[in-house]
Amino acid sequence: MKRIIITILVALLGFNSVAQNHDWAQFDRYNQDNSSVTCRPRAVFMGDSITDNWLSIDGEFFASNNLLGRGISGQTTSQMLVRFRRDVIDFNPKYVVILAGTNDIAKNNGVISLENILGNIQSMCELARLHKIKPVICSVLPADRYNWRPDMRPASDIILLNQMLREYAQTQRIPYVDYHSALKDGNDGLPAHFASDGVHPNQECYKIMEEIVLRYPK
């Protein structure tokens, strides 16, 4: 029995040590890039893997339009809100373009209600406005499946969240970028010719998104 108790205590201490050293919000991801920014960006794109991959697939879009991409794969709105100061406010951009929420629906960070997802995005918008940064809210991209959550069917939750985001944006006079309507297929998913996994856009899809989003941050 004594040996079992000691084993449990060692395991708990080890877990606590890992937790203390875990950069949950991933502040470190853009530390080096942030330190090399020398001029005020026109906009910062805040998001998850969709924004992260966008910068990798079409970096020229960001460079030629004086945009910063600050997406981190797998992140939820709670993590984005925590790093919002470091990765957005500190640059004093004219705009912040927020594309977030699909990983919350996928429960990447545990269960969260649609109301609380909306609340995190509202908080980001309020922080932006407090610092004279104009927020732009993007719809969550269509998806009828997640390959890392095969038991989930997210399409209807995405539609509900987008309705909430649109209503908030209209009430607050914030631009709302409707990617969902432009990209969805008959199942309210992202078609294979835009995303082989039904979630992450390819270059063709990003080109359409670029054309749409550039109508908003003037």
Position 8 scores a pLDDT of: 40
* Interval 191-214 mean pLDDT: 97
Looking at the predicted structure, is the pLDDT value of residue 210 above 80? Answer: yes
Helix H or strand E segment including 38: none
Which pLDDT belongs to residue 218? Answer: 58
Whether the predicted pLDDT of 12 surpasses 90: no
pTM: 0.89
DSSP per residue, 79-102: HHHHTHHHHTGGG--SEEEEE--H
Domains (range + CATH), the chain = 41-213 (3.40.50.1110)
Give the rounded percent of residues in the chain with a pLDDT score beyond 90: 88
Between CA 79 and CA 61 the distance in angstroms is 25
CA angle 195, 119, 73 (to 5 degrees): 35
Backbone phi and psi for residue 18, each to the nearest 5 degrees, phi listed first? -65, -45
Beta carbons of 143 and 190 less than 8 angstroms apart: yes
Closest of 82, 85, 104, 105 to residue 93, by C-alpha: 85
Comparing 2-11, 21-30, 77-86, 94-103, which segment has the lowest mean pLDDT?
A: 2-11
Average pLDDT of the residues of the chain: 92
What pLDDT sits at residue 22? Answer: 86
